[in-house]
Structure formats: C-alpha cells, structure tokens
Amino acid sequence: MSVVTDRRHSSRLRWYRGCSRDAAAELAVRDRERSGCWVLHGGIELDAARMPRFRSLLDRSLRSGARVVVVDLRDTEFLSIRVAAMLRDAKIEAWAQHVDVRLLTGTREVERALDLVGVRPLFRYYLSIDEAARSEPEH
C-alpha cells in the first residue's frame, strides 16, 4: 500500500489500495430505456487491469444494434493512457459500423489522459446522459 497526494486537495493524503471490489462492480452496461442507446459506466478507476472487461462491454454495446453508445466517465478519477488510446480505436471502429460513441467526463485527470493521447478532439462535449442520448448521431 502506498500513499499518494490527492491533487484536488493538496493538503490531504489518501490511501491507494488499487481497484476496490465496489469500484469494479460499477463497470457495467446499462440500457437507459431509450431505443438505440446504451450507456457504459466506467466506475472510479479505468486502468490496465480493468481494460479487458471494459473493452468487452464496449464491444458488446457496439454489436447490440445501438445507434449511440454513451461512455459515462463522470465518476472516473483515474483513466490510464492505454484505456484512452483504446477509446480512440473504439470510436474509429464504431464509426465504420454507423454507431456514435460519446463521452461524458467530469474530472481534470480524465480530460488530461484524453488530451495526452490526442483523443479529446474526436468527441463532442455533453453535459448529461440525457443530452448525449437525445442528440442525433453525427453521421
């Protein structure tokens, strides 16, 4: 176990124990009862260990016949560079299948990872799941 500083509150420390069972359980695809739209919640941490499950769920949602897949990263505090790069690849693959992958983000850490990989310009900004799901696909 190691101690890391929380950049949002530099005067406080937090214990990092890796991905908790509760955080892993948050990674799920949920149908928001909208025809043609799936929502994938990323959970608190999306690191290399969680990437295979995340990619599997993303692939499943892309093959479901949905027109729009919303990746909700608003609660995500850590996004690995590998996962950010995988989102770029998924966006390109989805585009070829006429599926629009959309991102919701909320933290600077996630935005930074997306910027570092050059993924952020591929995605429009949305404020809520409802807004992302309501908008027309960008094809």
3-state secondary structure the chain: CEEEECCCCCCCEEEECCCCHHHHHCCEEEECCCCCEEEEECCCEECCCCHHHHHHHHHHHHHCCCCEEEEEECCCCEECHHHHHHHHHHHHHHHHCCCEEEEEECCHHHHHHHHHHCCHHHCCCCCCHHHHHHCCCCC
What is residue 55's predicted lDDT score, i.e. its pLDDT? 92
Q: What is the predicted pLDDT for the residue at 138?
A: 56
Give 52-89 pLDDT, tens digit per residue.
999 998 998 888 888 899 999 999 999 999 999 999 99
In this prediction, residue 111 carries a pLDDT of 94
Confidence (pTM):
0.75
Question: For the chain, what is the mean pLDDT?
Answer: 78
pLDDT in tens, 2-38: 444 444 443 334 333 344 444 443 445 555 565 678 8
